[in-house]
Amino acid sequence: MAPAFASSPQYDLIPREALLGNPTQSQGRISPDGKWLSWLAPKDGVMNVWVAPADAPDEARVITQDKLRGINAHFWTPDSAYILTQQDKGGDENFHLYATNIETAETRDLTPIKDGARAQMLQMNKDYPGRAIIGINERDPQFFDLYELDYHTGEMSLLAENPGYGGWEIDNSLTPRFAVETIPGGGANIYHVNAKGEKGELFQSIENDDFFNTSLIGFTKDNKSIYMLDSRGRDKAAFTKVEIETGKVTEIASSDLADISNIASDPVTLEPLAYAVNHLKAEWTALDPSVEDDLAYLKSQFKGQISITSATRDNRKWVVVDDAAEAPGTFQLYDRDSKTLTELFSSRPALADAPLQPMHPVAIKARDGLELVSYYTLPPGSDEDGDGIPDKPVPTLLWVHGGPWARDGYGYNATHQWMANRGYAVLSVNYRGSTGFGKNHVNKAIGEWSGKMHDDLIDAVDWAIEQGIADPDKVAIGGGSYGGYATLVGVTFTPDKFACGVDIVGPSNLVTLMESFPPYWRPVLEGTFYRHIGDPAKPEDRERIVAQSPLTHVDKIKVPLLIGQGANDPRVTKIEADQIADAMKEKNLPVTYLNYTDEGHGFQRPENRLSFFATMEGFLAECLGGRAEPIGDAFKGSSAEILAGIDEVKGLAEASKALASGQKAD
């Protein structure tokens, strides 16, 4: 049942929980044999896996029993007998793999490894039912050894110890075929390996400029060729096939607009059927005539982008999602034979009548001419003539994506909808360093943390001001991970540009950031952080890194800052938040700091998400003047520790007291 939205003279106030709490259902899948549907949904408030007969979705039953963090991803085994999930402890990212029997709902920990070790799924194949190849870093935390696993019985045996490879490539016969070694200074070499993982001849070399845009993505059915995304000799990554014995390269697809972003393949033959390019929006192109009509039909039926989440082994039925900005995902079963769509569920039916807003894609030019694909959303009622420009400038939130080796894209975005509903324009920018737009776009970020990467964000804000979108006196900056770092850079390097900032798990000191990375990141640091920022072990680099760290410039902060941190974060450890918060408190600067004792790199538990975002909503209302739903009992069940600034946000002190006493705040 949809909630009764709060009355407003402007537009309905969407309840925070409807936007940011657990979805009603999500992640719809169909089993390879076509007999089952599966999805994630809450059980007693915690996300778990549910299954139902494909011909009787109403007969769903829950088959996992997680009671703590909830399950955030699931996938079918090729024989349709089990669903596999992964889980860590409190966000530490030391994942175990679990198998749940579809018939009995019995769940087994397939990887009962010691604390601090991590398991990863590498390969399964329908021709080898019950078998899987996995990686485990129990022997050496830097490197993943190969194990053969029987997911029916849980039996596991060592296949190959890792002598120093950053990654493995397993073929369709579940045999190790290649190993990846990073090159000092960046880049990687790909070597042939035998069945025991012993290194042979060099197969391919990837120079450092191509490191983020070139990768192996899977073997042909006969294991004689391998598919790649490859930017070597070009800017935008193409989809290619390489014959393993001869090295002959065949280009299958490419684009001048952006990298190839996705491939759809036949589940049995493994032949590519279609590819996607995501510039302003994701667009699919058929490679095989057999799917041309399907893609055309889905495009005619959908308001947004086509997303194919799973398919039966015979490829006759797909689970698809219409990814439109104005509606959260609706999962549908597409029958290719009858060309019919059957709705399975909406992930957030409570938003069916909510005033959700369109997202505007735009290409903004940076000061040096670099194209910055960006997206913005306006508050309801602010653009009466529908030209994409509000009738008058509005308070604006610059929301910066993490990574930085990731990207923002078109589609339903909870943060955009939430903040637009509270009265703000929301702007997201694919600054240099973002992936998907070619290697030139990525490599222009080398050495530019707090430099040109930040200039791109400022250029986008200036564009929004010039267009009449943003009120120049009411612009906030926020984001998570790199977005948190960008926030700290924003309030230190450009303190007059922003009215306030929201930093979620962002690094404040690039030296301590890199010195505390988890061991299994170390094999790839040369081509990533060391190349793009510098090696803190080298004195000449260290001086520059210190200068690029917001902590060095904390005395320049003039505006309020809100910090959110997960105590168990292995990527951006708690010291990053502690350092900046302590420095601000010492200088009597306004900072509110929330730490979550059972979270890692972000907030997975809905109780934690809702408590932090309630605080953020109140914080921004005071800073930018937008609307806010009262904090109320948003802290109920959360693990939040308010380590600074409890009196800086209206209702925060009362919510904290109510949490301690078990009562609801006014």
Render pLDDT for 506-541 as a digit per residue (tens, 0 to 9): 999 999 999 999 999 999 998 899 999 999 999 999
Is 601 catalytic? The answer is yes
| pLDDT for the residue 4 | 36
Residues of the chain with pLDDT under 50: 1-9, 663-666
First and final CA of the chain: distance in angstroms? 26
Asked if 328 and 20 count as a contact pair (C-beta separation under 8 A), the reply is no
Tell me which amino acid residue 550 is: P
Which of 80, 601, 611, 639 does the annotation list as catalytic? Answer: 601
| pLDDT for the residue 184 | 84
pLDDT-above-70 percentage for the chain: 97
The C-alpha atoms of residue 450 and residue 547 are separated, in whole angstroms, by 9
Which of 569, 598, 639, 656 does the annotation list as catalytic? Answer: 569
Which of 481, 508, 549, 611 does the annotation list as catalytic? Answer: 481
| pLDDT for the residue 660 | 65
Is 569 catalytic? The answer is yes
| pLDDT for the residue 8 | 40
| pLDDT for the residue 665 | 42
Q: What's the predicted TM-score (pTM) here?
A: 0.95
Query: 429, 399, 410: which is closest to 277 by C-alpha?
Result: 410
| SS3 call for 284 | strand
The C-alpha atoms of residue 620 and residue 421 are separated, in whole angstroms, by 13
Delineate the domains of the chain, giving CATH numbers in brackets. Answer: 359-509+549-663 (3.40.50.1820)
| pLDDT for the residue 661 | 60
Render pLDDT for 119-144 as a digit per residue (tens, 0 to 9): 999 999 999 999 999 999 999 999 99
Report which secondary-structure segment, H or E, holds 239: strand 238-243
